[in-house]
């Protein structure tokens, strides 16, 4: 379900508390208009009445698109430095509830693309990929060779991908996208931060870094007890 609340969240520029409706859970089956607001860059964006800066009125929320087999935890981009801790937390927050359901729910959970995204612009990219049936991992792999900061802006009627780095547009043809798709086996070991099944923050910014996994707790056995055989 979708959950919205009126909350006071400080402006990240000047610190003034701003009271407005925010999203704690967005379910597109219940509120499909959230998607259009996101694509139009209107979702949760408010001008701070004190400093005039664009205020993104959310702390963190879950984006759920079950027909599109896509779920994401959305946090503010200022938390990107903490990605290693947030990535396994994202898997747990989304995957565990599905794993505990009846067979049809577990099958749905196994088919989901689970993502951690930092900010609404990253979420917009992922949703654009889903709408146009693009593999976001391939899109991020393409960005490795594009100017730093390039983001997927739109997809043309011909299926070409338009990227924007803030200064110029770069067009990648559908044939080029398909060529990268065909190199999946070659690219997977080279770009583990994008293609590793454990990656939730799928981004060119960490393409060469494998998903982080926590070390075993101090004093705990590395091998499960059941796997140890005494002679």
To the nearest 10 degrees (0 to 180), the angle between helices 120-131 and 136-143 is 120
For the cut 90, the answer to whether the pLDDT of residue 102 exceeds it is no
For the cut 60, the answer to whether the pLDDT of residue 215 exceeds it is no
In order of 136, 174, 208, the CA distances from 132 in angstroms are 10, 11, 26
Query: What confidence category does residue 199 fall into, taking pLDDT thresholds of 50, 70 and 90?
Result: very high
- Within 13 Å, how many C-alpha atoms sit on residue 81's CB side? 1
Mean pLDDT of 104-121: 90
Mean pLDDT of 131-158: 96
User: What pLDDT is stored for residue 104 in this prediction?
Assistant: 85
φ/ψ of residue 230, rounded to 5: -95, 135
For residue 56 the two structure tokens come to: 């993104």
CA distance 142 to 128: 15
User: What pLDDT is stored for residue 1 in this prediction?
Assistant: 66
β-sheet bridge partners, residue 22: 5
Mean pLDDT of 190-198: 94
Contact partners, residue 42, CB within 8 Å, separation at least 6:
none
In order of 88, 102, 229, 230, the CA distances from 221 in angstroms are 20, 32, 14, 15
Mind listing the pLDDT tens digit for each residue in 164-186? 999 999 999 999 999 999 999 99
For the cut 80, the answer to whether the pLDDT of residue 229 exceeds it is no
Mind listing the pLDDT tens digit for each residue in 27-69? 999 999 999 999 999 999 999 999 999 999 999 999 999 999 9
Mean pLDDT of 197-217: 82
Average pLDDT, the chain: 90
CA distance 58 to 55: 9
Q: Which of 93, 115, 72 is nearest to 201 (CA)?
A: 115
Mean pLDDT of 100-106: 82
What are the helix (H) ranges across the chain? 33-39, 83-99, 103-111, 120-131, 136-143, 174-181, 184-187, 192-195
């Amino acid at each position: 379900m979708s959950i919205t609340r009126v909350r006071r969240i400080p402006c990240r520029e000047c610190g003034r508390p701003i009271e407005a409706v925010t999203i704690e859970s967005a379910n597109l089956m219940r509120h499909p208009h959230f998607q259009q607001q996101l694509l139009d860059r209107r979702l949760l964006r408010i001008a701070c009445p004190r400093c005039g800066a664009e205020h993104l009125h959310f702390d963190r929320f879950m984006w759920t698109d079950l027909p599109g087999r896509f779920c994401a935890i959305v946090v503010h981009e200022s938390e990107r430095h903490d990605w290693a801790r947030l990535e396994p937390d994202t898997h747990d927050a989304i995957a565990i509830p599905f794993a505990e359901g009846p067979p049809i729910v577990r099958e749905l959970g196994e088919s989901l693309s689970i993502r951690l995204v930092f900010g609404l612009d990253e979420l917009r990219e992922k949703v654009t990929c889903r709408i146009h049936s693009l593999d976001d991992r391939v899109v991020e792999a393409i960005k490795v060779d594009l100017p730093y900061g390039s983001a997927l802006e739109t997809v043309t009627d011909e299926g070409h991908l338009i990227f924007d780095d803030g200064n110029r547009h770069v067009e990648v043809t559908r044939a080029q996208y398909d060529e990268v798709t065909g190199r999946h086996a070659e690219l997977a070991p080279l770009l583990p931060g994008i293609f590793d099944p454990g990656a939730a923050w799928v981004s060119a910014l960490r393409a060469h870094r494998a998903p982080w996994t926590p070390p075993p707790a101090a004093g705990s056995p590395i091998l499960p007890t059941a796997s140890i055989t005494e002679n």
